[in-house]
Structure 1
Amino acid sequence: MKRAVGILLVDDHAVVRAGFRMLLSASPGIEVIGEAERGEQAIQLYQEVKPDVLVMDLSMPGIGGLETIRRIVQRDADAKILVFSVHQEQVYVSRALDAGALGYITKNSAPGILAEAIAAVLQGVTYVERGLMKSSGEHLSGNHQTIIADFSPREFDVFSLLAQGLTVHKIADQLCLGHKTVANYATQIKKKLQVATTTELAHIAVNLGLMQR
């Protein structure tokens, strides 16, 4: 008898995990063998349960989704990681794939897309939901595009959270960094983008399609 595909499901919302668990359980040959609510826990569980595919969100407490992907891929270059996220902006897709994910779909995708994406990623095939991989020029333009594209992974994480309105202290807690470290990142980011306030950062993020109004 063919062994079921083992899935490690990672999302910080229990209700979301329950919904996707039900969806996956309805797919023949797929079994959820572990669940985690934050990146650090996901890394530990990945080592313990050795899933065939890791299905995970990007937005979560602690080190965050992108850093979680990077650390898992550093430990296992053959890791099969599928991102499912509310973020539809191309820059998030690119960042996830650059970090080491093989697939990217949105949480509002059609039910059959999840199983289809898992099957592709399991085979080592890159899978991105149709319509997400648009030309970056449709979303980013001008000098800000170049600057943001050159951000380090951690700078991009801090920039995204600042633009969402989080304070330096909350970002530090979420990313498990020192407050002074995050404050330094914030200063560097504002200097590079030539702005003085987080409101201006939010305007840039919205104008470039990195977040919704």
Structure 2
Amino acid sequence: MATTILLVDDHPVVREGYRRLIERQPGLVVVAEAENAAMAYSHYKAHAPDLVILDLSLPGPSGIEAIRHIRQWDGSARIVVFSMRTGAMIARQAFAAGASGYVSKASPPRELLSAVATVLRGERAMSADIARAIAQDEVAGGRTALDDLSPRELEILGLTAGGMTAQAVAEALCLSLKTVHNNLSVIRATLGARTDAHLVWIAIGAGLVSPSEELALKEP
């Protein structure tokens, strides 16, 4: 029987490229596509695919949130992250949320296909650059102030650093505006951030967002 796959990326052209690459491989078929975390969760429940290939940079709640929700629904879900983000911090967060593999979009196509095969065998997979980033981070000590943030605080930091207002973050995560403001205060205190712009550059340095994703805030 064919191995079924759910593609999650907010760019239709990118999804089309994934689909063509994947469906050229014998036994692989894309059964659904999603452009945000809510659709990913809904399509996973509807189609129960064998594997999810998911970008982290989604409108609203990030791919980390999508991974977490899918794994809460199905603890055996197999999810491969395919992202431009190559920082060790964000890769560790993806694995902690329940991802089984992490491949950077800078990798050759064969690395994504190799990761798919590896994860389908029940093993963990990483592209070479992600494995190198994690290894270098471990050698350097590995721990930063961001490790003291909760998963929810990291999610709020990532969305804020991506240019979303506190109100937009509250709506995306189904939280009250007061809760978001309180979390941002804790985040600033934990990270020693002077301004929201400083928060952005901390998040970029940790790989939570890429410079191209930063929409509204500039370097302090």
Task: Give the TM-score category using the shorter length.
Answer: 0.7 to 0.9
| 1:108-119 mapped onto 2 (5 Å cutoff) | 108-119=106-117
Partner of 1:65: 63
| 1:109-188 mapped onto 2 (5 Å cutoff) | 109-133=107-131, 134-137=135-138, 145-188=143-186
More off after superposition, 203-212 vs 129-138: 203-212
Write the distance in 2 (CA, Å) between the matches of 1:139 and 1:13.
35
Identify which of 17, 20, 34 aligns with 2:18.
20
Residue segments in structure 1 that go unaligned for 5+ positions in a row: none
More off after superposition, 57-66 vs 3-12: 57-66
Q: Deviations for 1:56-102, whole angstroms, at most 9, x for unmatched residues? A: 11121233211211121122111111111110111111001111110
Normalised by the length of structure 1, the TM-score is 0.88
Q: Check the 8 A contact 2:104/2:129 in 1, yes or no.
A: no
Residue segments in structure 2 that go unaligned for 5+ positions in a row: 212-220
More off after superposition, 95-104 vs 64-73: 64-73
Q: Secondary structure at the match of 1:28?
A: coil
Identify which of 32, 42, 64 aligns with 2:40.
42
Q: CA deviation at 1:34?
A: 0.8
Report sequence identity in percent: 39
CA 1:202–1:63: 2 relative to 1, 3 Å = closer
Write the distance in 1 (CA, Å) between the matches of 2:54 and 2:3.
16
Normalised by the length of structure 2, the TM-score is 0.85
CA 1:13–1:178: 2 relative to 1, 3 Å = farther
Superposition RMSD in Å: 2.1
CA 1:210–1:136: 2 relative to 1, 3 Å = farther
Aligned residue identity for 2:137: S
Aligned length: 208
Write the distance in 2 (CA, Å) between the matches of 1:151 and 1:30.
38
Aligned residue identity for 1:100: G
Partner of 1:191: 189
Partner of 2:216: none
